A and B are shown apart, each in its own frame.
Chain A
Amino acid sequence: MSLGISFDLSTAWALLLALAVWIYVVLDGFDLGIGILYPAFPEKRSRDLMMNSVAPVWDGNETWLVLGGGGLMAAFPMAYAILMPALYPPIVAMLLALVFRGVAFEFRWRTTSVIGRKAWDTAFFGGSLLAALTQGIALGAILQGIEVEGRAYAGGWWDWLTPFSVLTGVAVATGYAFLGACWLVLKLEGEDQKPFRHLARLLGLVTVGFIGAVSLATPFLEGDYWLRWFTWPSMAVAAPVPIAIAVIVLLLARSLTHHGHRDWLPFVLGLALFGLCFLGLGLSMWPHIIPPDVTIWDAAAPEKSQIFMLVGAAILLPIILGYTGYAYWVFRGKLDPEKGYH
């Protein structure tokens, strides 16, 4: 196996998977966030509006999670084989949570009783919250490092649970709720929009606080992170990220206080904020796919597997982005509460 080609392919796949996971995080992030916001809006009318704003797109959003899992197994099978047992309880909890919230989209309209509707509202909220928390916990568990022996996970089944992983869990759930609020600012208008604008401001503030807390905690987890962020010359690469985050945060604050016409701006800035955080995490971890020991090259599938898929991904991903964009375009515009979405 020539090292040069393998380097390029594994790097390409690491970037591609990172892109898929980022797309998942922001897309399902906002629709999970809408579920997390449910308890703040007990009225049926608000809840109908909130759910309908994502009903036509949630399934597509969640498909990126399947691509993340399937792509990881295909391009880095060893990483998939280590991560899943290492994160067993949070992954299983996430899957079950997604079952509850996924069916709630349909079942909520099928039940005929008020109790039934409230039960599926609760399932939608609980499922969304638990899925967000467990995804954040998984992130924290990966960042703090996973014990590996040979090609397999070597730790116990509760190793993932630490104060740091709980912090990242709560941070991600808050961030999702923030994205959800921004999405509703985009999709609603007038009096319906107002509470979400307030919420977006509050949640934005808390999210930024959590980003700060996680950023401060991360360099202390392990030697490499510290060196990456606070020694020259890697600092030169890393430093622009927090600066860019600061700029985005200022723009966000402005866009949420000024009641302008650009209702899409907070959501887009929210995507950028998540993108930058993602970039920061990537810079911390690179070139490890499982800190502290497994690099992307250790875990890589053979060239032949990676090339076979890369050809498909290169052709199909632009097409997928095209028709996914089209599906969003079809359901564009403000939600009319008098008419319903559809």
Chain B
Amino acid sequence: METFAGFDAITLARIQFGFTVAFHFIFPAFSIGLASYLAVVNALWLRTRDEGWLRLFNYWLKIFAVTFAMGVVSGIVMSYQFGTNWSVFSDRAGPVIGPLMAYEVLTAFFLEAGFLGIMLFGRGRVGDGLHMTATLMVAVGTAISATWILSVNSWMHTPQGHVIGENGQFLPADWWEIIFSPSFPYRLAHALTAAYLTTAFAVGAVGAWHLLRDEHDNPGVRRMFSMAMWMAAIVAPIQIAIGDAHGLNTLEHQPAKVMAMEGHFDSHPDGAPLILFGIPDQDAKEVRYAIEIPKLSSLILKHDLYAPLAGLDTIPDDEEPPVAIVFWSFRVMVAIGFAMLAVGLWSLIARARGRLYGSPWLHRVAVLMGPSGFVAVTAGWITTEVGRQPFTVYGLMRTAESASPLAAPAVGASLIAFVCVYFAVFGAGLVYLLRLMSHAPERGERGPAGEAGPIRTAGRHAATPEGERGVHGTAPRPEEGRA
């Protein structure tokens, strides 16, 4: 078989899909949460007419715009990855998953794209009410989008509602069953909650950073930190409960994945231990240097200390997922989940003592936890996707038979191109995001509309001090900027 740098076409295609989707996923994980956050903040501004909220809205709106643009362009890539690298999968599964993805475009992408321009630039043109509507539409669009694509993904994990045609295609039999496949509700809840948590920790880190930098009295900074910590305290425990339910669902439908997550090479007829750490060795079929707590895995997964749990010894070797990756990525995700819970509880204590804004160590830890959501989301995604291997449609279609009939050099060259472009472009994007975040929200903080005008330094409003413009509603609103 033709290879490229020692890899065959299928391995390169898998690396390419994993790379492009992992990169893409980072942006929606942030923009789903941020869109909802912006809708809440804008609603608070309209309700209270407290300029602090508007400041906060405009501040995060600019960050949202940059994030969203990166999500859009990396998302377009995904809609073509299925065909370019996985054409056999697309042909066979297209009749089932194609319509769901088409519905995603029709119900979500257009909604987001159609109202994004108004959300970013249109307040001065359409007025507060319609602008609020547009903001809500964008937020709703991001959630609808997640719903459809997770429905597709869930069907690939727990396929049902289809028949297999003479030409090998998966043909839809019952759309309801396809859309609501067994893992879908759990996966959706887990992923959406993850997006909200990821955003909360990113927002919280920015707030904490500015609190550490002596912006104690900046109401924007205080509000963003406080809101983020409320989210952490309330949502992190909910997420852990959802994750547990999702895990039990996986045990029911994809036991091999859970065996890999747990590192259970052997079956345990009278209670399985929880392996905390160790080095899985798939060839030797054992976890070396394992540190384990007896019976705890059975307690977690079966709610019974002595419940029997089957291991990978019950699964044919050629149907086992790669254990080490799944084992480790799962631990990374869980560890971050509990760290989030700890920060949430810490913030509750600090709040109760009236020291939420005066606890430098809490702020330092919150800054450190800023990127944690992105790491957790990626680790969780690796756990579930690698855990589905060696199948694309679980149990029915193998990854090895899903790829396009492409020469390895074609896939290898495009992979190199994607890696170079993504690191250059999204690396620059990260720099711009950090630069935006490095300023605290200021008086008269302007949105993208205010500053994206071509003649930003012209003296049209020279008589009005920058910071005061538009604050009291008589002068043009700040987000009208030059308009």
Contact = CB atoms under 8 A, between A and B. Distances in A.
Contacts of A70: 79, 98, 101-102, 104-105
Contacts of B455: 45, 48, 337-338, 340
Contact of B76 (A65, A89, A111, A323): A65
A85 B84 contact: yes
B358 interface: no
Contacts of B409: 157
A324 B74 CA distance: 22
A59 B113 contact: yes
B94 A81 contact: yes
Interface in A221-267: none
Interface stretch (B31-39, B85-93, B258-266, B347-355): B85-93
Contact of A77 (B91, B126, B175, B452): B91
Nearest to B450: A342
A111 B121 CA distance: 19
Interface stretch (A174-182, A273-281, A304-312): A304-312
Contacts of A323: 110-111, 114-115
A202 B117 CA distance: 32
A91 B84 contact: yes
A185 interface: no
B483 A340 contact: yes
Interface stretch (A99-107, A164-172, A193-201): A99-107
B276 interface: no
Interface stretch (B223-231, B305-313, B425-433): B425-433
A320 B106 contact: yes
Contacts of A272: none
A57 B116 CA distance: 9
A341 interface: yes
Contact of B83 (A73, A105, A342): A73
Contacts of A317: 106
Nearest to A100: B425
B99 interface: yes
A331 B483 contact: no
Interface in B46-75: 65-66, 69-70, 72-75
A82 B87 contact: yes
B419 to A, nearest CB: 11
Interface string A52-68: 10011101101101110
Interface in A27-63: 44-45, 48-49, 52, 55-57, 59-60, 62-63
Contacts of B294: none
Contacts of A302: 95, 165, 169, 171-172
A152 interface: yes
A88 B415 CA distance: 12
Contacts of B70: 103
Interface in B158-194: 165, 167, 169, 171-173, 175
Given A327-B117, A342-B452, A152 B105 contact: no
Contacts of B75: 66
Contact of A66 (B69, B79, B93, B125): B79
Nearest to A56: B117
Interface centre among A44, A70, A89 (most CB of B within 10 A): A70
A80 interface: yes
A85 B432 CA distance: 35
A66 B76 contact: yes
A320 B110 contact: yes
B293 interface: no
Contact of A342 (B77, B417, B418, B483): B483
Interface residues of A, number: 76
A52 B105 CA distance: 25
B410 interface: yes
Contacts of A330: 117-118, 122, 125-126
A103 B172 CA distance: 38
A151 B167 CA distance: 9
Interface stretch (B243-251, B337-345, B382-390, B399-407): B399-407
B179 to A, nearest CB: 10
Contacts of A80: 82-83, 87, 90-91, 94, 98
Contacts of B102: 67, 70-71, 73-75, 309, 312-313
Contacts of B121: 55-56, 331, 341-342
Interface string A293-330: 00000000110110011001100110010011011001
B101 A74 contact: yes
Contacts of B278: none
B73 A102 contact: yes
Contacts of A95: 76-77, 80
Nearest to B165: A302
Given A69-B83, A304-B171, A330-B125, A63 B98 contact: no
Interface centre among B91, B96, B125, B448 (most CB of A within 10 A): B91
B458 A338 contact: yes
B451 interface: yes
Contact of A107 (B120, B407, B429): B429
A213 interface: no
B79 A48 contact: no
Interface centre among B76, B113, B418 (most CB of A within 10 A): B113
A129 interface: no
Contacts of A99: 73-74, 77, 421-422, 425
Interface centre among A52, A95, A100, A313 (most CB of B within 10 A): A95
B72 A102 contact: yes
A152 B87 contact: yes
Contact of A305 (B65, B98, B417): B98
A100 B426 CA distance: 10
Interface in B299-334: none
B120 to A, nearest CB: 7
Given A77-B169, A327-B114, A69 B429 contact: no
A112 B432 CA distance: 10
A309 to B, nearest CB: 5
A88 B414 contact: yes
A92 interface: yes
Interface string B101-143: 1111111011111111110111011100000000000000000
Interface string A204-229: 00000000000000000000000000
A7 interface: no
B417 A69 contact: no
B393 to A, nearest CB: 14
Nearest to B77: A95
Contacts of A312: 99, 102-103, 106-107
A91 B112 CA distance: 25
CB-based closest 6 A-B pairs: A340-B453, A77-B94, A84-B83, A74-B98, A48-B454, A56-B117
9 contacts: A70-B105, A73-B102, A77-B91, A81-B94, A84-B80, A103-B73, A324-B110, A338-B455, A341-B483
Given A99-B421, A330-B117, 18 more contacts: A55-B452, A56-B121, A63-B110, A67-B102, A73-B83, A73-B101, A74-B101, A80-B94, A84-B80, A96-B421, A102-B73, A107-B428, A107-B429, A301-B94, A312-B106, A324-B114, A340-B455, A342-B481
